[in-house]
């Protein structure tokens, strides 16, 4: 039998050591180990006493056979259902992470109210706020009449026992997993061991009862869901709720989903009466666009199956530093370096004495290489002072050779641009899939030199060097 004594658990990744050390070997974090009593064995697991484990014999199945599609619990909040892959799956566990104050509790209360009003049993357990506070928020959002069952509790055994009473709930929200503690785990609440133990108990309840469980998780400064990363591995889906403090809109993004795609986003706007859905995010991201300034290009991007137009802003300014600055918000740093290198090598641009700032307007995070062309156009425009034609969208991937390569779903991108009143699209010359361009005039480029020449021709005289 394993020796039981104090162990040291990394509070960042959950790795366990028998001796204290300054740095966690598993994740490299310093001073993250803290002493915890060893987790008790999972109750019901046999064989812990050293005897030969005696198991129940179960039937094995083949790959082929009848399996019903997981029936979904549709919340009715379209943007939420889109990210979960068409609704909550009974018996599944979902972890939703996000910065404090971003609106997790608000979103989940709205989902609870919608389901409860549709006649399902919904339980909302808050470990952070009193029932009074939760009630007050619901009242502000005009949801007081929804028959959501409310509790302010933190002990998982009590919660599971309470949930066992009455009919099986369709949805249980635990806000948040970091506040939960289990009597079966001998360490202080808030520690990794406790969070893991509590999550285990709650997940076991969800799997055995068939209720859908949503766990709220806090996010640390570097964007990880605080506490053990292992909780992320234990659950069926991980969603993150993001947003910029200065902007009213919030983006719900799938990071892992056993029952759907992870590239879909849901867009919400925080209003005085809770979160409202944004079904046309492009219009939102393009609002307040300054069309008369150089350094801005509209990128026709895709988020999952949905096209999203967003403005890419660049500022290229002479530097006063020995090593010029490169700062990026909303895009990959390494991708910017690559585009800059291509523009210098193949486009003939001199950027070594310039600071470069790149920003994706509205706080969206763009992950697509298809944004290369829009980024390049914004950079060249800012450097030369040439204002890009205002009614144009850009998309295309730039290869290291300077070639502009076709990207997927061009037709959907063009349709969205046309819908929003754009007149032209600057796109790669290859790729057949564009269709008739939806009334847009299509301008195709095969190499960055063509793009640079095109933009430089629009530059004001003083800059034509």
Q: Compute the least distance from the CB of residue 176 to ligand TYD, in Å.
A: 8
Q: Binding of ligand TYD at residue 250 (CB under 6 A)? A: no
Query: Is residue 268 within a helix (H) or strand (E), and if so which, with residue range?
Result: strand 265-271
Length of the chain equals 465
CA 316/CA 246 separation, integer angstroms:
24
Q: Binding of ligand TYD at residue 132 (CB under 6 A)? A: no
Q: Is the Cβ–Cβ distance between 124 and 108 less than 8 Å?
A: yes
Q: Is the Cβ–Cβ distance between 378 and 284 less than 8 Å?
A: no
Task: Pick between residue 270 and residue 317 the one whose CB is nearest to ligand TYD.
Answer: 270
Binding site for Mg ion (CB under 5 A): 105
CA 23/CA 64 separation, integer angstroms:
48
Interface pattern 259-288 for ligand TYD (x via CB under 6 A): -----------x-xxx--------------
Q: Binding of ligand TYD at residue 106 (CB under 6 A)? A: yes
Q: Compute the least distance from the CB of residue 75 to Mg ion, in Å.
A: 18
Relative to beta strand 93-98, strand 237-243 is parallel
DSSP state of 367: -
Give CA 293 to chain center in angstroms: 31
Q: Compute the least distance from the CB of residue 273 to ligand TYD, in Å.
A: 5
Q: Binding of ligand TYD at residue 127 (CB under 6 A)? A: no
Q: For tokens 């997940």, name the residue.
A: 203
Per DSSP, what are the bridge partners of residue 155?
181
Task: Pick between residue 102 and residue 378 the one whose CB is nearest to ligand TYD.
Answer: 102
Per DSSP, what are the bridge partners of residue 427?
444
Angle, CA 321 vertex, CA 320 and CA 325 arms, to 5°:
105
Q: Compute the least distance from the CB of residue 280 to ligand TYD, in Å.
A: 21
Which of the choices ligand TYD, Mg ion, none does residue 137 contact, using the CB cut-off of 5 to 8 A by kind?
ligand TYD
CA 108/CA 349 separation, integer angstroms:
50
Tokens of 140: 């502000």
Q: How many residues bind ligand TYD (CB under 6 A)?
A: 15
DSSP state of 40: P
- C-alpha atoms less than 13 angstroms from C-alpha of 329 in its C-beta half-sphere: 13
Task: Pick between residue 251 and residue 407 the one whose CB is nearest to ligand TYD.
Answer: 251
Near ligand TYD in 396-455, by CB under 6 A: none
Q: From residue 14, how far is each of 196, 233, 268, 288 by CA, in Å?
A: 9, 12, 33, 45
Report which of 130, 132, 104, 88 is spatially closest to residue 216, judged by C-alpha positions: 104
Task: Pick between residue 128 and residue 454 the one whose CB is nearest to ligand TYD.
Answer: 128
Task: Pick between residue 104 and residue 447 the one whose CB is nearest to ligand TYD.
Answer: 104
Q: Compute the least distance from the CB of residue 240 to ligand TYD, in Å.
A: 11
Q: Binding of ligand TYD at residue 178 (CB under 6 A)? A: no
> Is the omega angle on the peptide bond into residue 176 within 30 degrees of 0, that is, cis?
yes
Q: Binding of ligand TYD at residue 179 (CB under 6 A)? A: no
Question: Measured at CB, which residue is nearest to Mg ion?
Answer: 105
Cβ contacts of 237 within 8 Å, gap of 6 or more? 84, 92, 93, 94, 95, 254, 256, 257, 258, 259, 260
Q: Determine which residue in the list 87, 98, 243, 347 makes contact with ligand TYD, applying CB under 6 A.
A: 98
Q: Binding of ligand TYD at residue 217 (CB under 6 A)? A: no
Task: Pick between residue 105 and residue 381 the one whose CB is nearest to Mg ion.
Answer: 105
Q: Determine which residue in the list 47, 101, 166, 183 makes contact with ligand TYD, applying CB under 6 A.
A: 101
Q: Binding of ligand TYD at residue 43 (CB under 6 A)? A: no
Task: Pick between residue 119 and residue 272 the one whose CB is nearest to ligand TYD.
Answer: 272
Task: Pick between residue 214 and residue 340 the one whose CB is nearest to Mg ion.
Answer: 214
Which of the choices Mg ion, ligand TYD, none does residue 335 contact, using the CB cut-off of 5 to 8 A by kind?
none
Q: Determine which residue in the list 77, 89, 102, 383 makes contact with ligand TYD, applying CB under 6 A.
A: 102
Q: Binding of ligand TYD at residue 173 (CB under 6 A)? A: no
Task: Pick between residue 96 and residue 278 the one whose CB is nearest to Mg ion.
Answer: 96
Q: Which string of b and e fits 108-137 if b means at least 16 CB within 10 Å?
A: bbbbbbbbbeeebbbbbbbbbeeeeebeee
Q: Binding of ligand TYD at residue 140 (CB under 6 A)? A: yes
CB atoms within 10 A of CB 255: 13
Q: Determine which residue in the list 85, 103, 197, 260 makes contact with ligand TYD, applying CB under 6 A.
A: 103
- C-alpha atoms less than 13 angstroms from C-alpha of 350 in its C-beta half-sphere: 4
Task: Pick between residue 128 and residue 423 the one whose CB is nearest to ligand TYD.
Answer: 128
Q: Binding of ligand TYD at residue 105 (CB under 6 A)? A: yes
Q: Compute the least distance from the CB of residue 278 to ligand TYD, in Å.
A: 15
Task: Pick between residue 27 and residue 151 the one whose CB is nearest to ligand TYD.
Answer: 151
Which of the choices ligand TYD, Mg ion, none does residue 100 contact, using the CB cut-off of 5 to 8 A by kind?
ligand TYD
Binding residues vs ligand TYD (CB under 6 A)? 98, 100-106, 137, 140-141, 270, 272-274
């Amino acid at each position: 039998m394993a020796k039981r004594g104090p162990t040291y658990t990394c509070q960042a990744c959950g790795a366990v050591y028998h001796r204290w050390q300054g740095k966690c070997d598993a994740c490299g974090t310093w001073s993250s180990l803290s002493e915890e009593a060893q987790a008790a064995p999972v109750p019901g697991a046999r064989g812990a006493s050293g005897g030969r484990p005696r198991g129940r014999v179960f039937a094995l199945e083949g790959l082929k056979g009848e399996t019903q599609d997981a029936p979904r619990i549709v919340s009715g909040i379209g943007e939420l259902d889109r990210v979960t892959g068409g609704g909550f799956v009974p018996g599944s566990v979902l972890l939703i992470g996000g910065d404090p104050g971003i609106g997790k509790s608000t979103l989940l209360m709205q989902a609870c109210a919608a389901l409860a009003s549709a006649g399902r049993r919904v339980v909302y357990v808050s470990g952070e706020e009193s029932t009074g506070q939760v009630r007050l928020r619901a009242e502000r959002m005009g949801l007081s009449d929804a028959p959501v069952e409310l509790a302010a509790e933190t002990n998982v055994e009590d919660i599971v026992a309470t949930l066992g009473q009455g009919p099986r709930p369709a949805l249980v929200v635990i806000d948040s997993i970091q506040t939960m503690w289990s009597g079966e785990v001998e360490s202080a609440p808030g520690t990794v061991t406790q969070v893991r133990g509590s999550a285990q108990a709650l997940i076991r309840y969800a799997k055995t009862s068939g209720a859908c469980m949503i766990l709220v998780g806090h996010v640390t400064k570097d964007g990880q869901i605080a506490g053990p990363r292992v909780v992320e591995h234990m659950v069926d889906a991980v969603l993150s709720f993001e947003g910029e403090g200065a902007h009213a809109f919030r983006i719900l993004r799938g990071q892992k989903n056993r029952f759907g795609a992870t590239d879909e986003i849901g867009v919400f706007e925080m209003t005085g009466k809770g979160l409202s859905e944004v079904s046309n995010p492009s219009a939102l991201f393009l609002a307040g666009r300054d069309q008369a300034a150089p350094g801005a290009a509209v990128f026709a991007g895709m988020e999952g199956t949905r096209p999203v137009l967003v403005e890419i802003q660049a500022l290229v300014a002479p530097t006063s530093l020995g090593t010029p600055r490169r700062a990026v918000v909303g895009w990959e740093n390494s991708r910017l370096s690559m585009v800059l290198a291509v523009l210098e090598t193949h486009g003939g641009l001199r950027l070594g004495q310039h600071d470069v700032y790149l920003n994706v307007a509205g706080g969206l995070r763009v992950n697509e290489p298809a944004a290369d062309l829009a980024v390049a156009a914004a950079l060249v425009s800012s450097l030369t002072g040439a204002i890009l034609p205002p009614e144009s969208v850009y998309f295309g991937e730039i290869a290291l050779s300077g070639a502009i390569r076709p990207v997927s779903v061009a037709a959907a991108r063009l349709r969205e641009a046309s819908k929003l009143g754009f007149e032209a699209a600057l796109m790669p010359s290859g790729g057949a899939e564009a269709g008739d361009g939806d009334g847009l005039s299509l301008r195709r480029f095969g190499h960055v030199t063509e793009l640079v020449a095109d933009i430089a021709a629009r530059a004001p005289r003083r800059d034509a060097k």
